[in-house]
A and B are shown apart, each in its own frame.
Chain A
Amino acid sequence: MRQSLIQWFKFASPQSFYPLAGRMIPWFWAAAAIFGISGLWISFFVAPTDAQQGEGYRIIFVHVPASWMSMFIYLVMAFWAGLGLALNTRVSAMMAQSLAPTGALMAALSLWTGALWGKPMWGAWWVWDARLTSELILFFLYLGFMALQAAIDDPRRADKAGAILALVGVVNIPIIYFSVKWWNTLHQGSTINLNKAPSMAQTMLWGMLLMALAFWMYSIAVALMRVRAIILERERHTEWVKHAVE
């Protein structure tokens, strides 16, 4: 037990995490490719045409995974940031920093694909639906986190300030979501009910799950790539970094 605990703390140092991340990246890319190809196969060739929405519904195979990942990444980011704040582990703070752009990308993709889905289905690129609005706010939260970290020169202070912001954001996300939902029901007249979506066929669900797994693996791989760059940038004056790059 103690042995394994020591093992974990060992990887919390940038020096040992840097090569470990490098070794893990190809595996996550491979997993992302496998899940992605099978997911795409199901979404384009196995899943049947939807009776109501025709072929347009195939957008959900990227829209739903992107939305899921955008929310999930914020939680993971807040977790790493909080861990970094509590235990003062540098790598977890760096991990939080490297996850933020990927999370923002997922939120942007979710908004973009949502607009492209909304146009043919509802006749509008954007409706003030509860889910769309909360996704937009989540995107702003990511931008705020990234802007705050970019504005603070001292990386240690940037880590801690970002952690507090991420934790405040996590507390607020459910409140924001429910308030937006309530606001939406109050103004029901102009909005469209999203819950009328057709019952999902088993194959569609499988396609969506595989695509979500692919997005997940992609996010890990790209975050690890970025965290390696961040480690080298931050630790550039240490002795081990000088030997790590040959």
Chain B
Amino acid sequence: MNAFFATVRRDLLLAMRRKSEVLTAVFFFVIVTSLFPLGIGPEPVLLKKIAPGILWVAALLATLLGLPRLFAADHVDGTLEQMALSPSPLGLLVAGKILAHWLLCGLPLVLLAPVLGLQFDLDASALGILTLALLLGTPLLSLIGAIGAALTLGVRGGGVLLALLILPLYIPALIFGAGAVEAHIAGLEVGGHLSLLAAMLVLAAFFAPWATTAALRIALE
């Protein structure tokens, strides 16, 4: 377990030295969500209706933006090979890297979402549900995305390919995440959406590091 936290700490420290990479995803999220009202018009009723979908799609794309760099730097400088050879299981180290990625790319989105939701005239309880859904959903996006990042490691045209591989797999998270907020606005029960998101998160937390490790081993061969 020490190796796990060491990996998380190391990745966070590295990211703090290169702040621009972390901030790119956050700025992207802010700008994209702010562009939609400009493109659609300032009508509050319409904006309120499309807010959950827009915030979720923007969060999804912002996560995607940071994914190619998840393993790339470590692959180039040989750290990844050292990790594969180290005595602690690679799956644990990979899980640490995924957690670090979420803390850097996912958590800022969760924290920013309520502020951006205000632009769309969402009320306090809807903002709460939105934040909760993103809190459950963004780790899921990082976990699934890590599989794609490992598969496309060092492959030409990696970034676009990653989007093609991963976006279809993001659909359930998008549906239930945005669905929770929509259901709340429509006055329906949101427990089902959130528990399904949580169930998918547990499933992904169990399987995704494992699949990512297998994909990384293939890339390192």
A associates with B: yes
Contacts from A to B (Cβ < 8 Å):
137, 140-141, 143-144, 147-148, 151-152, 156-157, 160-161, 164-165, 167-169, 171-172, 175-176, 179-180, 182-183, 186
Q: Give the CA-CA distance A164 to B171 in the complex, in Å.
A: 19
| B41 interfacial contact with A, CB 8 Å | no
Mark contacts of B147-186 with chain A using CB atoms, 8 A cut-off: 1 yes-contact digit, 0 otherwise. Answer: 1000110011110010011011101100110010011000
A–B complex contacts, Cβ < 8 Å, 26 sampled: A137-B168, A140-B164, A144-B168, A147-B161, A148-B161, A148-B165, A151-B156, A151-B157, A152-B155, A156-B221, A157-B221, A161-B218, A164-B147, A164-B151, A164-B211, A165-B165, A172-B168, A176-B169, A176-B171, A176-B172, A179-B171, A179-B172, A179-B175, A179-B196, A180-B171, A182-B176
Q: Give the CA-CA distance A152 to B196 in the complex, in Å.
A: 35
User: Which of A151, A168, A171 contacts B152 (CB under 8 A)?
Assistant: A151
* B172 adjacent to A141 (CB under 8 Å): no
* A137 adjacent to B171 (CB under 8 Å): yes
Would you give the shortest CB distance from B80 to chain A, in whole angstroms?
A: 15
Contacts from B to A (Cβ < 8 Å):
147, 151-152, 155-158, 161, 164-165, 167-169, 171-172, 175-176, 179, 182-183, 196, 200, 207, 211, 214-215, 218-219, 221
Would you give the shortest CB distance from A186 to chain B, in whole angstroms?
A: 6
Q: Which residues of A contact B164 (CB under 8 A)?
A: 140, 143-144, 147
Q: Give the CA-CA distance A175 to B214 in the complex, in Å.
A: 22
* A183 adjacent to B151 (CB under 8 Å): no
Majority DSSP secondary structure for residues of A touching B? helix
Q: Which residues of B contact A152 (CB under 8 A)?
A: 155
Q: Give the CA-CA distance A168 to B166 in the complex, in Å.
A: 10
Q: Which residues of B contact A171 (CB under 8 A)?
A: 207
Give the residue name and chain of the B residue nearest to A151 (CB).
B155
Q: Which residues of B contact A183 (CB under 8 A)?
A: 175, 179
Q: Give the CA-CA distance A152 to B152 in the complex, in Å.
A: 9
* B168 adjacent to A161 (CB under 8 Å): no
* B218 adjacent to A157 (CB under 8 Å): yes
Q: Give the CA-CA distance A181 to B156 in the complex, in Å.
A: 36
Given contacts A144-B164, A179-B172, contact A186 B147 (CB under 8 A): no
Would you give the shortest CB distance from B205 to chain A, in whole angstroms?
A: 14
Given contacts A151-B152, A152-B155, A186-B183, contact A160 B218 (CB under 8 A): yes
Give the residue name and chain of the B residue nearest to A178 (CB).
B172
Q: Give the CA-CA distance A176 to B172 in the complex, in Å.
A: 6
Q: Which residues of B contact A147 (CB under 8 A)?
A: 161, 164-165
* B183 adjacent to A164 (CB under 8 Å): no
User: Which of B151, B175, B200 contacts A148 (CB under 8 A)?
Assistant: B151
Q: Give the CA-CA distance A114 to B182 in the complex, in Å.
A: 29
* B151 adjacent to A165 (CB under 8 Å): yes
Would you give the shortest CB distance from A137 to chain B, in whole angstroms?
A: 5
* A180 adjacent to B218 (CB under 8 Å): no
Would you give the shortest CB distance from B163 to chain A, in whole angstroms?
A: 9
* A144 adjacent to B165 (CB under 8 Å): yes
Q: Give the CA-CA distance A182 to B197 in the complex, in Å.
A: 13
Would you give the shortest CB distance from A80 to chain B, in whole angstroms?
A: 17
Q: Give the CA-CA distance A183 to B152 in the complex, in Å.
A: 30
* A168 adjacent to B175 (CB under 8 Å): no
User: Which of A151, A164, A172, A182 contacts B218 (CB under 8 A)?
Assistant: A164
Q: Which residues of A contact B196 (CB under 8 A)?
A: 179
Would you give the shortest CB distance from A1 to chain B, in whole angstroms?
A: 32
* B168 adjacent to A140 (CB under 8 Å): yes
Q: Which residues of A contact B147 (CB under 8 A)?
A: 164, 168
* A175 adjacent to B175 (CB under 8 Å): no
Q: Which residues of B contact A143 (CB under 8 A)?
A: 164
Q: Which residues of A contact B179 (CB under 8 A)?
A: 182-183, 186
* A182 adjacent to B165 (CB under 8 Å): no
Q: Which residues of A contact B158 (CB under 8 A)?
A: 151
Would you give the shortest CB distance from A184 to chain B, in whole angstroms?
A: 10
